[in-house]
Amino acid sequence: MYPGAQAVAMLQPTQGNATAGTVRFEQHRHAVMVFARVTGLKPNQEHGFHVHEKGDCSSPDGMSAGGHFNPTGKPHGHFSGTERHAGDMPNLRADANGVAETRFMMTGMEVGTGGATDIVGKGLIVHVNPDDYTSQPTGNAGGRLACAVIQKS
């Protein structure tokens, strides 16, 4: 199946951190394929990874990106469930060198449609801790290591 609209996010480290990377999003019918390569993570650890409500990385700590992207008003939850934020994605798993490479399909979000769940223009955050997928409203993922604005490509 050929992809439809595409977007990219260039992660830049927040103040005092070294996390960076590139994340691509491709619309495939009713799902979005996500491709990520992120460096500068804590080796052999998981890190929360979410789309956030604001495409604003101007603050040194990444807090200007706001909370999780949640246009449908659902509770935070596991990325495979239906009761979750549109921005709730799987944790990134770093290898022994602090590099995470992954790809996965997401439902509940769109690329370039202009609809309520469109992620273009939203923020993308890599967190210090793993998402526990249950704590409200953010999965207890902690501080922000890197921030990006998702842009249509």
* 103-128: pLDDT as tens digits: 999 999 999 999 999 999 999 999 99
**Residue where the block lists tokens 């979000």:** 109
Cα angle for residues 95, 98, 99 (degrees, 5° grid): 70
- What residues form DSSP beta bridges with 47? 92
50 is catalytic: yes
Rounded to the nearest 10°, the torsion over CA 35, 54, 144, 82 is: -60
- pLDDT of 1 > 70? The answer is no
Are the CB atoms for 56 and 123 separated by under 8 Å?
A: yes
Q: Is residue 94 part of a domain?
A: yes
The residue from 24, 68, 84, 118 that is catalytic is 68
Note whether 146 and 126 are within 8 A (CB): yes
Q: 2 falls in which pLDDT band (50, 70, 90)?
A: low
Please state, in angstroms and as integers, the Cα–Cα distance from residue 6 to each residue in 15, 68, 81, 139, following that order.
Answer: 29, 21, 24, 28
Catalytic residue among 47, 84, 85, 118: 85
Residues of the domain holding 111: 6-152
User: Is 99 inside a domain boundary?
Assistant: yes
Higher-scoring residue by pLDDT: 51, 81: 51
pLDDT at 11: 98
Establish if 10 belongs to a structural domain: yes
Please state, rounded to an integer, the average pLDDT across all residues of the chain: 95
Q: Say if 64 falls within a structural domain.
A: yes
Average confidence (pLDDT) over 11-20: 98
Q: Is residue 138 assigned to a domain?
A: yes
- Does residue 46 have a pLDDT over 70? yes
pLDDT of residue 123: 98
Residue 117 lies in a domain: yes
Q: Which is it for the CA torsion 134, 85, 67, 106, positive or negative?
A: positive
| CATH number of the domain to which 99 belongs | 2.60.40.200
Q: Which of 52, 84, 118, 131 is catalytic?
A: 52
pTM: 0.95
- 1 lies in some domain: no
Beta bridge partners of 95: none
Q: What pLDDT, on the 0 to 100 scale, is given for residue 81?
A: 86
Residue 99's pLDDT is what?
Answer: 98
For the question of residue 52 being annotated catalytic, the response is yes
Total domains in the fold of the chain: 1
Look at residues 86, 92, 69, 100 and name the one whose alpha carbon lies nearest to residue 32. 86
Q: Is residue 30 among the annotated active site residues?
A: no
